[in-house]
Amino acid sequence: MGLPLPEDQTIETDNEIISELQRGKTARFRALVDRHKDKALTLAMRILGERQDAEEAVQDAFVKVHLNISQFRGDSTFHTWFYRILYNECVSRMRRRRNAPQFMSTNDHEEISIADDDASADAQMLASDIQELIQIEFEKLAEHYRTALTLFYLQELRYEEIAGVMDVPVGTVKSYLFRGKQLLRKRLEGYGQREAEVA
Amino acid sequence: MIDQTGHLDGETMQDFLAGRLEREDAARVEAHLSSCHACSSLAQNYQTIERSLRRLPQEHAKRGFTEKVLERTGLSTPRLYRFADVMAGVMAALFVGGVLLLVFGVLGIIPITSSAGGVSAAATAWNSVSTRADEIIRSLPASLGIGSVGVPSVILAVVSIAVIAVLLGLDHMVERWIARGNGAR
C-alpha cells in the first residue's frame, strides 16, 4: 500500500476512472470498488450494526453505481454521490427492519438511561477505558447521529459533503455532530457517576 | 459566545475545538477557559470524545468482496485470477484423491505395493523414491499406525497439501497485486 494521496489527487483519480467507465472501459469498475469498499463498509456497519447486512448494503450500492454511472455528472465528488446512494440503501434497510419483528430497538429515542439497561450496564462494567465506552455508547446513538459522526470523524467529509449525503441543511449537520457528542458526554458522565456510587 | 449562565455556549465551544473561530474570538475563548474550570473541563471532555471517535475501528471488506460485486454487475474477472481458482480446484481434487487412497490403504481395500520392474525411467525413479519412503515410514513407531499404509498415497497427500498451500499463497498475492494496481487504500 502506498502513502495516502492528497485529497485533490484522489478526487481527480476517481473522476478519471469514472470518465473511463463512461467511455465503456468497464474493467475500471474494479478500481472504484477496491478503493472505496472499506470506508463504505465502515459507514454501513456504523449505521446498520450487522456485518452481513452491511456487506449486502455496500454491494447493492456498488451495483447501483454501476447501473447509474452514466448519470454521474461530476457536480459533486464521487464519494459524496456514492455515500448518498449507500446511505439511502442503509436507511431503506433500516426501515424494512423496523417493519419486521424486532428483538432490539434501533434507538430512535435519544435519551437512554444507562441504569435502565441491564445488558448495557454489564457491557459497561467490562469496558476498561473510555475508548471502549465511547464505542459501546456510539452504537446506541440514533442513526442520524452515527452517520454524521462517522462521515465527519472517520471519513473526514466536510459539512457540505455530509449535508449532500444525508440530504439535510449544513446547519442540521452541525447540530447532529454537536448533539451526538453531547449525548456521548452525558452518557460518559452517567457512567462516571455510577462508578463513583459503586466506589 | 458567553451564555446567560456565564459559560461558553455549545456552538462556540465546538467551533473553538474545531479551530473554526477567528483569531480574536479564539483568544477570548482561551482567556475564558483559563479562568473557568467548568468550561475548561467540558472542553477537555469533548476533546477526549473527538479523539475516541477518530479512533473507532474501520471495517475491512473480506477477501473476495470485490469479486462478488463484479459478479453481480456482470463484469468479468481477470484470466490470471480465474486460472489460480481453477488450479486450486484441481489441486483440491488431487488432495481429496490422496486422502481417499490413504483411507483405502489403511482399510486394506486397495492393495498398495511398489511396482518393481517398471519399464520406464519415471517408473523406476518413482519405485526408488517409494521404496526409500517406505523404509522411513516403516521405521516409525508402530503405534502411529501408518507403517502399513501405502507410500504412494502418503506422498500424494503430502505433495497435494504443499501445492495447495503454495497456490493459495499465490492466489492471495495475485489478489493483492490486482488491488494495489487499482489504487486500493
Q: Strand, helix or coil at A147?
A: helix
Q: What is the pLDDT of residues B99-137, one digit of tens each?
A: 776 666 555 555 545 444 444 565 566 666 667 666 766
Say whether B52 and A177 touch across the interface (CB within 8 A). Answer: no
A and B: number of Cβ contacts within 8 A? 112
A56/A145 Cα distance (integer angstroms): 22
Contacts of B116 (CB under 8 A, 6+ apart): B127
Measured CA distances, A29 to A66, A83, A145, A173, B69 (Å): 8, 16, 31, 31, 10
The verdict on ipTM greater than 0.85 is: no
Q: Which of residues 109-138 of B touch A (CB under 8 A)?
A: none
For chain B, what is the mean pLDDT? Answer: 73
**Residues present in chain B in total:** 185
Instruction: Look at the block and give the residue holding cell 459497561.
Output: A124
Q: What pLDDT shows up at residue B170?
A: 74
Q: What pLDDT shows up at residue A23?
A: 86
Minimum mean pLDDT among A47-51, A53-57, B142-146, B171-175: which range? B142-146
Alpha carbon A118 to chain centroid distance?
Answer: 27
The residue among A37, A63, A79 with the most chain B CBs within 10 A of its CB, best to mutate, is: A37
**Nearest-neighbour CA in chain B from A2: distance (Å):** 8
A70: contact with B, CB 8 A cutoff: no
Pick the most confident of A50-64, B4-18, B104-118.
A50-64
Indicate the burial class of A103 (C-beta count within 10 angstroms; 0-12, 13-18, 19 or more): exposed
